[in-house]
Amino acid sequence: MNGTTTPEYPINVVVWGENRHEQVQQKVRDIYPDGMHTTIKEGIEENLGERASVRTVTLDDPEHGLTEELLTATDVLVWWGHAAHAEVDDEIVARVHRHVLDGMGLLVLHSGHWSKIFTKLMGTTCTLRWRSDEDRELVWTVDPTHPIARGIPHPFVIPAQEMYGEQFDVPAPDELIFLSTFTGGEVFRSGMTYRRGHGRIFYFSPGDQDYPVYHQKEVRRVIANGVEWAKTLRPERSTPTLLRYDREDFYNGHGYEGAMEN
């Protein structure tokens, strides 16, 4: 399939995993023996099948696995980080940021809210309330018509999870899809979309490393739906640029690409 109305398949997906908790915490290793990134990958494959080609890279790979060549070929990047946000090289963050503006899709999961790439794209602190206390989370569908909510029960229950609560210091989302509630009375905007440049971004909060959340079928379905949604429908990727357009010429911009360059 081609054009601007339907995505081309397979969608090239890269799951980026910090992969630190699995190395140092036996509890996490027991839940995710091959790493959370592998479990997330398997969930996407389980739901999308031949519609997705999925690979994984991790923080400790050369260039964090996020080479220019890889990102150029990536339709959607899925990001999970927590303990080592500061170790992500700023040059790599700038590279990912540029590719998102060009049109690469980005899914940011759980504590990736505090990653360098998400805070750079949001322009805020991205802080929130939290409590790691084996809480029950109810995930309510706010927008049942959205493609990311397709096939998701209303609500679905995560039996054990870390609590995230408001205020969540992010910009008002383009779309609010899921809202979570917890046993302490807290609420949290747990599924939101943004557009930055030509790129689509989906933030989804369930998924603390201490709990088997990424094995849960509803969570896996949400992430897979998010991958399909986040792939750009534009026929090619390009960064929005500032160009001069002469009268009666609607199609051929020229002159300069930056306000201070000419």
Alpha-carbon span 47 to 222, nearest angstrom = 10
pLDDT at 256: 65
**CA-based torsion, 98, 101, 104, 106: positive or negative:** positive
pLDDT at 185: 95
Dihedral angle of Cα 79, 80, 85, 88, to the nearest 10 degrees: -40
Residues 177/142, Cβ–Cβ less than 8 Å: yes
Residues 121/196, Cβ–Cβ less than 8 Å: yes
In a 13 Å sphere around the CA of 87, the CA atoms on its Cβ side amount to 15
Q: What's the chain look like in SS3?
A: CCCCCCCCCCEEEEEEECCCHHHHCHHHHHHCCCCHHHHHHHHHHHHHHHHEEEEEEECCCHHHHCCHHHHHCCCEEEEECCCCHHHCCHHHHHHHHHHHHHCCEEEEEHHHHHCHHHHHHHCCCCCCEEEEEEEEEEEEECCCCCHHHCCCCCCEEEEEEEEEECCCCCCCCCEEEEEEEECCCCEEEEEEEEEECCEEEEEECCCCCCCCHHHCHHHHHHHHHHHHHHCCCCCCCCCCCCCECCCCCCCCCECCCCCCCC
| Radius of gyration for the alpha carbons in the chain, expressed in angstroms and rounded | 19
Alpha-carbon span 127 to 122, nearest angstrom = 11
157 is written with which tokens? Answer: 């229950």
Alpha-carbon span 253 to 119, nearest angstrom = 32
User: pLDDT (tens digit, 0 to 9) for every residue of the chain, 262 residues total?
Assistant: 333 446 678 999 999 999 999 888 999 999 999 999 999 999 999 999 999 999 999 999 999 999 999 999 999 999 999 999 999 999 999 999 999 999 999 999 999 999 999 999 999 999 999 998 889 999 999 999 999 999 999 999 999 999 999 999 999 999 999 999 999 999 999 999 999 999 999 999 999 999 999 999 999 999 999 999 999 988 888 888 888 888 888 888 887 655 555 4
Bridge partners, 15 (sequence order): 56, 78
pLDDT at 170: 97
87 is written with which tokens? Answer: 């170790």
